[in-house]
Structure 1
């Protein structure tokens, strides 16, 4: 906590400059976009930030009252803005209040100043992308809005209420951890979904593969196979999308490992990193051989925030977690590897998170967890090759099998040399 009576003058001045800078940053955005109108702009917002900083630094106990006093003239100014400009938008008013709080946070502590800088930057970005956000909202179907609202509501209500401890009734599983992993994995897909929707439905092939890899690499493979069945000349460009979607699975698994068990990351990073690098080079060669004018319109990505798939993943994850733990107890490492291969045929995320968790708890060794994760990734990669061969044309299947086969062999080679 910053105490102005003992804090060096230079530090106080520096913090005031930071508060002023945050206010100026937000104020300039409001002035540039002309959203503030006559309400507030590049001069007023720095004053809001300094007001919050000075009051909190020297009259901390009176800050709630000072903040309430500020709300009154802001309300009057907003009413005047509505009356004269016929503009009901609350964005600038909310930004003004937040800017005052950011100024106070800068004077609160080092952590408060750091958070204020991060939040101030996020506010500026949010304010500056008004048009893309509104266009994105207009493109979302009503059914997708309901799906997102339901899922977010369940996350906010269910997650905090679940017990954060092993429950004997469900064989020692931790319900909150299981649901947290459901939210995490689905959230990765949602980020990719937002990327695809913001950039529009007509995406380049690289984006199709990347977004499809996060949302569903299997769905991307099936979609591309179907396109080659309709138009065989697109087999190279569709192969590129399939390979790219399959490669994205490896860094996605690394992100999951880093969240669940950071200590395991260095072990897993080498084989999955090599597979990613080999696949990236192969994909680049495919793209280079593809005619520059050829494009593929990806099928509309559906919102991954849907309750039924989320519950299905949670069930699969819980079963995989239990089976992996008991397989290790009953059959040793061979049981874990068999479970990893079978689980990987359908889903890599569940096995990756499971083995990372078991390694963190000491149930399995780091080497066993690493091998199991790579086996699951290899199994899932083989599934993509099989889907391309059986659902697409011969040329697509041969090309995808060749490229992904090289990727799999590279992972096996690294695994054999390091584990």
Structure 2
């Protein structure tokens, strides 16, 4: 869209009449699901409530008495919501549904206030998300009721890490070690820990839901959650069904591809919006690993087969703190190794840490790159070294199988991945 077009759009959104119309439309959008569900308040009521919030907000902006009207409007909406809830209780209707309608009315009023105040994007976002929550009522209830105690506990712990601990951390600190001052970004570091854990939770849900429907899902998404679990499951599956070796190998290859994709997402995603340039150099080597793994899996596997995969708990405080500890140790000693022994020292640290957690080594390289201790090429090579060392770990685990063909295929194809990553790294060096 051209700059002139953007200016015209901004000008139209600044128009008071347009804001009022948008508030009414969003209220109508919110009331659509309530009308469809045949509730006591529907499209007209919700639209009028949003218009009321918009009008009172404009009065508050332009006049001295407007603030009182704005508060009065909110109180009236709350009272109306309470009356609806009481009516639902007395008539033996579903009280939960009445409460949902009551709260939705207050949300509609707030949307009108946001839009009239100039928070256009925020108002639209609230309206869309609220409508989505109303529409997905059955799915959300089934999801919540289907959670095990361990999954519920994991979700709660993750919420504490993401929404309680993260805001309390300082943005920057300076760590003194051996006469050296190491600048650290605790919030960025913790955000990376939360991101890796969040990926594990999301893909735990995907694997648990679709795990038996195809090796592509179990291999790739299982690799995002736990590549070790993929290898362990395939080892057991090959032991029970020796003829399944070809697609078991493909599952491990796809787990490697998922691991490389996760590292690439960390490398690119966490360098966006900072003072340093986006780490685009990581796309070539990690992209090579991903493409080679996918190509071999597509060619060699019998995709008519499928196999279930079982993962452990999606998240635990212990796992998060362990990852954070490994990441911090790698970050500190990697920075010291880079200071004392140059870039080769950090490379050695990346290789060693990749055997434990390629994500930890990747995040360490990204943080050092953001801090200026590593250049783009050096950070990319460190990430690639951690990635290929993780591939070696999977090959070593697969070598414990009693199936000769399975062991051989995993070793050969893992070697091809390492070769492809090595050739891609030469492009970065040269």
Q: Output the TM-score relative to the length of structure 2.
A: 0.86
Counterpart contact for 1:39–1:78, Cα < 8 Å: no
In the superposition, relative to structure 1, how do residues 321 and 10 fare at CA in structure 2: closer, same or farther (>3 Å)?
A: closer
Shift of 1:321: 0.3
Counterpart contact for 1:57–1:108, Cα < 8 Å: yes
Q: Would you say how many aligned residue pairs link Structure 1 and Structure 2?
A: 403
User: 1:270: which partner in 2?
Assistant: 284
Counterpart contact for 2:13–2:19, Cα < 8 Å: no
Counterpart contact for 1:222–1:391, Cα < 8 Å: no
Q: Give the 5 Å matches for 1:146-161.
A: 146-161=153-168
In the superposition, relative to structure 1, how do residues 163 and 38 fare at CA in structure 2: closer, same or farther (>3 Å)?
A: closer
Give the secondary structure class of the aligned counterpart of 2:290.
Answer: helix
Q: Which ranges in structure 1 are unaligned for 5 or more consecutive residues?
A: 1-6
Answer yes or no: is 1:188 the counterpart of 2:199: yes
Q: Distance in 2 between matches of 1:260 and 1:97?
A: 37
Shift of 1:79: 1.4
Shift of 1:93: 2.0
Equivalent of 2:426, from 411, 416, 419? 416
Equivalent of 2:30, from 15, 26, 31? 26
Give the secondary structure class of the aligned counterpart of 2:279.
Answer: helix
Answer yes or no: is 1:93 the counterpart of 2:102: yes
> Is the deviation greater in 75-84 or in 57-66?
57-66
User: 2:16: which partner in 1?
Assistant: 12
Higher relative contact order (CA 8 A, sep 6+): 1
Q: Give the 5 Å matches for 1:79-90.
A: 79-89=86-96, 90=99
Shift of 1:153: 2.8
Structure 1's consecutive aligned runs of 4 or more residues displaced over 6 angstroms after TM superposition are: 7-10
Q: Give the 5 Å matches for 1:292-311.
A: 292=304, 294-299=305-310, 301-311=311-321
Counterpart contact for 2:151–2:314, Cα < 8 Å: no
Q: Distance in 2 between matches of 1:178 and 1:266?
A: 20
Answer yes or no: is 1:120 the counterpart of 2:120: no
> Is the deviation greater in 114-123 or in 247-256?
114-123
Shift of 1:334: 1.1
Shift of 1:326: 0.6
Deviations 1:89-142 (A, max 9, x none): 122222221122112212222xx2112222322222222222222222222111
Shift of 1:157: 3.5
Equivalent of 1:257, from 267, 287, 308? 267
Q: Distance in 1 between matches of 2:292 and 2:19?
A: 48
Q: Give the 5 Å matches for 1:224-239.
A: 224-239=234-249
Counterpart contact for 1:78–1:93, Cα < 8 Å: yes
Give the root-mean-square deviation of aligned CA atoms.
2.4
In the superposition, relative to structure 1, how do residues 270 and 57 fare at CA in structure 2: closer, same or farther (>3 Å)?
A: farther
> Is the deviation greater in 160-169 or in 11-20?
160-169
Deviations 1:235-265 (A, max 9, x none): 2222222221210112211221233323242
In the superposition, relative to structure 1, how do residues 18 and 402 fare at CA in structure 2: closer, same or farther (>3 Å)?
A: farther
Counterpart contact for 1:317–1:350, Cα < 8 Å: yes
Shift of 1:154: 4.6
Q: Distance in 1 between matches of 2:248 and 2:44?
A: 53
Counterpart contact for 2:327–2:364, Cα < 8 Å: yes
Counterpart contact for 1:39–1:81, Cα < 8 Å: no
Q: Which ranges in structure 2 are unaligned for 5 or more consecutive residues?
A: 1-10, 62-66
In the superposition, relative to structure 1, how do residues 391 and 92 fare at CA in structure 2: closer, same or farther (>3 Å)?
A: farther
In the superposition, relative to structure 1, how do residues 8 and 381 fare at CA in structure 2: closer, same or farther (>3 Å)?
A: closer
In the superposition, relative to structure 1, how do residues 26 and 151 fare at CA in structure 2: closer, same or farther (>3 Å)?
A: same
Give the secondary structure class of the aligned counterpart of 1:297.
Answer: coil
Counterpart contact for 1:20–1:49, Cα < 8 Å: yes
Counterpart contact for 1:224–1:238, Cα < 8 Å: yes
Counterpart contact for 1:218–1:384, Cα < 8 Å: yes
Q: Distance in 1 between matches of 2:147 and 2:16?
A: 47
In the superposition, relative to structure 1, how do residues 23 and 396 fare at CA in structure 2: closer, same or farther (>3 Å)?
A: farther
Give the secondary structure class of the aligned counterpart of 1:391.
Answer: coil
